[in-house]
Amino acid sequence: MSRRGVGATARAPNPPARHQAVRPRRSGLAPYYTYRAGAGLARALPGPIAVLVTRGAAAALKWGMRGRRDTVARHLRKIHGDEVSEAFVDQQVERAFASYARYWMEAFRLPGTSPARLEAGMVYDGVDHVERASAAGRGVILAIPHLGAWEWGGAWMAASGYPMTVVVESLEPPELFEWFAGLRRSLGLTVVPLGPQATSGVLQTLHAGGIVGLLSDRDLVGNGVEVSFFGERTRLPGGPATLALRTGAALLTAAVFFEGGGHRGTISAPIPTEREGSLRDDVTRITQEVTHRLEDYIRRAPEQWHVFQPLWPSDSDAAAGPDR
């Protein structure tokens, strides 16, 4: 075959092949570019303008996420009780999306926030529990709900001399995960991706006497412990209890609420983690106690609970209904 023939044969399919490969890749990167653009805008806005933009973003989120809006309404009814009116639920749903939009605006603007500004924006109680547990040298586990401003709380902890290791959900595309990981590292947090290798990173922190923060109100892996949560059985992560039992680390719960223009952080006294039976039974017992404490936090500000995904079996039943 002639040299020209080889060239002609090779060149013909190349442009479409490159085009087909690049198009899905660029499409897959859309969330990455969207979050980056949102963060850039949030950081560029003056404070008063950021407040106005947050209100607009809350309205857009509410009307653009119809399925999640329905899920939030179901969750709020579960917390408040079925006797609440539809008008009350609608009002609380609006407040939930306003809280969610505020969370993102603040998270995007957190990098570069001075320790003095973090301190001025936080009222807190229960930090002495962390101090005493840290002094014991066996590590500290903070079980945290998706409530209020947990990113602000993590940044405040790091700036106050209590840097944390956090386990975070893997995201697609990988560029988006790395961007979020970089954001959290800039706040003084050590980021461990959720997955098979997470345990070693967490154990390393605990064996060194450090602090691990674990979001504990969603079973992302699918191997959680069955507990009663707001009166319905579901599964929540058993990792905090398992780690505490196996390492001797102190197990505390914590939450950071929006309060006016600032934040209120609260940390509980340690949960008793002495062995009483089999490991399975002890993990279940302790996870249920963690769950009760998370319920107490969420009841204080249900509209600040940012779990917009199905969580209970009844959520799945509703989503599979005839109107879906």
Alpha-carbon 167 to chain mean position = 9
What span, in angstroms and rounded, lies between the C-alpha atoms of 3 and 10? 11
AA identity, residue 177: F
Read off φ and ψ for residue 126, nearest 5 degrees. 90, 5
What is the reported pLDDT for 242? 97
Handedness of CA 128, 130, 133, 135 (dihedral sign): negative
> Looking up tokens 């003056």, which residue turns up?
46
What is the reported pLDDT for 171? 85
Q: Where are the beta strands (DSSP E) in 36-99?
A: none
Q: Is 220 exposed, middle or buried (0-12, 13-18, 19+ CB in 10 A)?
A: middle
| CA-to-CA dists, residue 51 to 45, 155, 183, angstroms | 9, 21, 21
- Note the pLDDT tens digit of each residue in 74-93: 999 999 998 999 999 999 99
What is the reported pLDDT for 229? 98
pTM: 0.87
Alpha-carbon 148 to chain mean position = 10
Name residue 234's beta-bridge partners. Answer: 227
What is the reported pLDDT for 24? 53
Alpha-carbon dihedral 308, 313, 315, 319, rounded to 10 degrees: 120
Contact 150, 144 (CB under 8 A): yes
| 180 Cβ contact list (under 8 Å, min separation 6) | 35, 168, 171
Contact 69, 113 (CB under 8 A): no
- Note the pLDDT tens digit of each residue in 259-292: 999 999 999 999 999 999 999 999 999 999 999 9
What span, in angstroms and rounded, lies between the C-alpha atoms of 239 and 216? 8
What span, in angstroms and rounded, lies between the C-alpha atoms of 66 and 95? 15
Contact 267, 133 (CB under 8 A): no
User: 155 is written with which tokens?
Assistant: 């940044």
What is the reported pLDDT for 256? 98
Tell me the mean pLDDT per 10 residues along the chain, length 324: 35 44 64 90 88 81 80 96 94 94 94 95 96 95 97 96 93 92 96 90 96 96 95 97 97 97 97 96 98 98 97 82 45
Q: Is 323 exposed, middle or buried (0-12, 13-18, 19+ CB in 10 A)?
A: exposed
Contact 228, 222 (CB under 8 A): no
Residue 95 CB coordination number (10 Å): 16
User: 53 is written with which tokens?
Assistant: 């933009």
What is the reported pLDDT for 294? 98
What is the reported pLDDT for 7? 34
Q: What is the 3-state secondary structure (H, E, C) of 216-270?
A: CCCCCCCCCEEEEECCEEEEECCHHHHHHHHHCCEEEEEEEEEECCEEEEEECCC
